[in-house]
Structure 1
Amino acid sequence: MVLGIYPAPFFWGVATAGHQSEGDNRDSDTWFLENVTPTVFAEPSGPACMGYERWSEDLDLVAGMGLNAYRFSVEWARIEPANGEFNEEALAHYEAVVNGCIERGLAPLVTFSHFTQPHWFAKRGAWLDAEAPALFARFCGVVMDRFGDRIAAAVTFNEPNLPQMLAWAGLPAFVADLTRATLDAASAAAGVEKYRSGNVMVAEDFDAMQIGMTNAHLAAKAAIKQRRPELPVGLSIAISDDCAAEGGESTRDAKRADVYDHWLRLARTDDFIGVQNYERLWFGPDGQLPPAAGSIINEMGSAVDAASLGGAARYAHAVSGVPVLVTEHGASTPDDAVRAAFIEPSLAGLLEAISDGVPVLGYCHWTLMDNFEWVFGYGHQLGLHSVDRTTFERTAKPSAGVYAGIVAAQRAAVAA
């Protein structure tokens, strides 16, 4: 396959998240939830990838791949470990990361909430708290005042629709039961009525959480735009490429309405919509269909399908009407040959969408290195680099070279 030339300028990046790579995020809600009994998490995050200490080395890996963008999150729990108390060391750390990106020719794409929040915020009920939007906007303002003049784009929320998406995934009943038991245990341990989190959620909270995060996105965007009106601001949603076999249109459309469309309509007044795509799913008259015979299956149980990215981008733009920024895309598999073979045809499908009129600002592969994959712990692999769990040494996989080669060819073609 010969990949056509992408339009310029274009963000060629890789994505990470603070809690998943930094380690020892002890003032966060997720850390607290990992360490109660019972817990829905397979294991605690612990030191993760020691990314908080090894950030400069990790930026060297990104730059060494020839990329021009790096998406990462600032951890609210580190910056504001107690309500209204802002940690100078943490602010200086993330400022150093931003400056390090710029020194290496990497555009800093900053996520303000990548699932985790402060422990004190969760004790208040998280996004159920009436003051949550104002508290989040205050945090975003502090970050912007410190280094917002140097970032290239702001993502307020990462996958605020993930609970709804998982509700459509056909998970066994014990998962919901264990989720509820985790929150009950956390509430008891914290001495509050409702300990709540953005990524460990029970179904009866979905609607109220969505309202809270919607208002928080709007408040955060206002705070960011007040400081830099020209800075592109958006949010990122999890979005499968949902397709209908004969008779499956109504089920597919019901899922779209339940999982994506609120956020895509909200994004109509944003500068972009972040698309996070990992799968294509097919629906028939009786619901979701199993993967086709002979499919390569990822660790989530769905087929690895390179056509999914272009389809997800098309739908996101069709509903939102704003440019797409692919903030995550990858394959959860221990077989890196699958990942390496998956990248170029995925990008070819995305380029077809661009050729058909879908504006796309950039592509960030998930993820730089194998890391803490939330409830799955360290059992799932999505990284372009492996991480030794004892020494924390990073080692490039063949897929890192494949992606780097594609980007090098693209940048050379644009320069020619």
Structure 2
Amino acid sequence: MFLWGVAGAGYQSEGAAPDSNWSRFVTGYQNSVDFLHRYPQDIELAAHLGVEVFRLCVEWARVQQVPGEWDFEFYDDVVAKVRAAGMRPMITLDHWVYPAWTGGWRNPKMVELWLANADRVIKRYAGNGTIWITFNEPTVYMAHEMRQGRFSPMMPSRLVQAHKGAYRLIHEADPQALVSSNVAYIPVVNRLVDFGFLDWIERYLDFVGIDYYYDVTPGNLTAMHGATGKLYKIDPEPKGIYRALKHYARRFPRLPLYIVENGMPTDNGQPRPDGYTRSDHLRDHVFWMQQAQSEGVHVLGYNYWSLTDNFEWGSYRPRFGLYTVDVQTDPVLVRQPTDAVETYREIIMSGLPDDYRPKR
């Protein structure tokens, strides 16, 4: 069975951020889209789309705000409501955020601390179809740590050690579970930036999770805007998702693939100047994903990033949401559906029309 889903992350959407590596230096966070209090509504919106998977993060910084003390009340209700709505949780253990008191990956005891938290999360939510992501985009995670002066040369090996430990814990709790660490497909240098991590953990993966947003071709070099955070200036390259899937199918022929994240940012919610819509983007990427499937690539599922707009690691300007939310000017934080809401529902229910051809 193919799984359709939506995705989000704790720090980016919850608001009321506890003390963490991010809360100590980010400004302008406000309360993001306040998933912390509006999660019943957002889960209902996801269920109305017809998706089977709801990706969330059980934020370590929230559940263990002081050493030795855990509080899972919030996530208990989130996971319960996701399951009650007929969806499977896809739980991310680490989406680049950790409690500030840990000291981060420079701490020689970080793996031990990280796994102690992971053990509690896993034992609490394993089973009933839960899918697991250990580390979100580990190479990008390390790049963030470098920019903030918190990187340790030991971080790569410690992430590998933590992933392997979590993999074992998950399969002890649920032998049938699917576990991965999703990788960011970065054009041109992709083979270099993820070399090592995926290869080191290959035997500890049940699928390869792929985040695809853009590619580079001779006629489209706009991906360079990704380095400046101006993601809305990148011209989408839908066929790139086909190339990404074929690339990972060749590299890891024994493993199925899953598009864990795919979406299109707009500039503060405004229409793109070229007229390319979120619906166009969604249909085109699904078309090329299905083209790869028709050629024998085993794809387990697809998650749209993201259900709602959120805090893009320093800015609210890039808007990725199926539902747009104007954090900076709307105190009520209304979830406004974009054109892609109905499009995604139609794709899930009926697929693309047989005669569909990509807009670009």
Q: Write out aligned runs for 1:132-171 (5 A).
A: 132-162=110-140
1:406 equivalent to 2:347? Answer yes
Q: Which one has the largest radius of gyration?
A: 1
How much has 1:111 moved relative to structure 2? 0.6
CA RMSD, 1 decimal: 2.5
Alignment map for 1:185-264 (pairs within 5 Å): 196=150, 205=152, 207-240=153-186, 242=187, 252=188, 255-264=189-198
- Give the distance between the partners of 1:352 and 1:343, measured in 2 at CA: 14
- CA displacement, residues 131-176 of structure 1 (integer Å, 9 cap, x when unaligned): 2222211111101222223352110010111167789xxxxxxxx8
- Output the CA distance in 2 between the equivalents of 1:320 and 1:333: 33
Amino acid at match of 2:53: A
The answer for the alignment partner of 2:212 in structure 1 is 277
Structure 2 distance, partners of 1:266, 1:151, is 26
Residue 24 of structure 2: aligned partner: 32
Aligned residue for 1:4? none
Pick from 86, 105, 118 the counterpart of residue 86 of structure 2: 105
- Classify 1:300/1:266 alpha carbon distance in 2 versus 1 (closer, same or farther; 3 Å): farther
- Can you list the C-alpha shifts for 1:114-135, whole angstroms capped at 9, x where unaligned? 11111112x2xx2232222222
The one-letter code of the counterpart of 1:101 is V
- Structure-to-structure mapping, 1:9-408, within 5 angstroms: 9-34=1-26, 43-87=27-71, 91-121=72-102, 123=103, 126-162=104-140, 179-180=147-148, 183=149, 196=150, 205=152, 207-240=153-186, 242=187, 252=188, 255-269=189-203, 270-282=205-217, 290-291=221-222, 299=231, 301-321=233-253, 322-334=255-267, 335=271, 337-375=276-314, 377-389=315-327, 390-408=331-349
Letter in structure 2 aligned against 1:62: A
Change in Cα spacing, 1:222 to 1:210, as seen in structure 2 (3 Å) is same
Deviations 1:267-295 (A, max 9, x none): 421101110010011479xxxx7349xxx
TM-score (norm 2): 0.87
Q: Distance in 2 between matches of 1:27 and 1:163?
A: 18
What residue in structure 2 maps to residue 3 of structure 1? none
Corresponding residue for residue 226 of structure 2: none
Render the CA deviation track for 1:232-256: whole Å, top value 9, x for unaligned: 111111113x3xxxxxxxxx4xx23
* Structure whose residues are more often helix by fraction: 1
Q: Any unmatched runs of 5+ in structure 2?
A: 224-229, 355-360
Q: Which residue of 1 aligns with 2:358?
A: none
Distance 1:53 1:131 in 2: 33
Q: Which amino acid aligns with 2:322?
A: L
Amino acid at match of 2:160: T
Partner Cα distance (1:226, 1:50) in 2? 34
- Matched residue of 2:182: which SS? strand
Alpha-carbon distance between aligned partners in 2 of 1:305 and 1:153, rounded to the nearest angstrom: 28
- How far residue 261 of structure 1 moved from its aligned partner, in angstroms, is 2.4
Q: Contact between 1:24 and 1:45, CA under 8 Å: does it hold in 2?
A: no
Q: Which is further off, 385-394 or 357-366?
A: 385-394
Q: Is the 8 A contact 1:368 1:383 kept in 2?
A: yes
CA distance in 2, matches of 1:257, 1:52: 37
CA-to-aligned-CA distance 1:354-392 (integer Å, 9 cap, x gap): 1222111100010011110003x1111111111142111
* Alignment partner, residue 38 of structure 1: none
Moved over 6 A (4+): 164-167
- TM-score of the two chains, using structure 1 as the length reference: 0.75
Q: For 2:98 and 2:82, how far apart are their aligned partners in 1?
A: 24
Structure 1 distance, partners of 2:263, 2:81, is 25
Which residue type is aligned with residue 273 of structure 1? V
Unaligned runs of 5+ in 1: 1-8, 35-42, 168-175, 184-195, 243-251, 293-297
Partner Cα separation in structure 2 for residue 318 and residue 135 of structure 1 = 36
Contact 2:160–2:201 at 8 Å: present in 1 too?
no
Counterpart residue identity of residue 278, structure 1:
Y
SS state of the match for residue 80, structure 2? helix
- Identity among equivalent positions (%) equals 27
Q: Distance in 2 between matches of 1:163 and 1:234?
A: 16
Contact 1:235 1:267 (C-alpha < 8 Å) held by counterparts: no
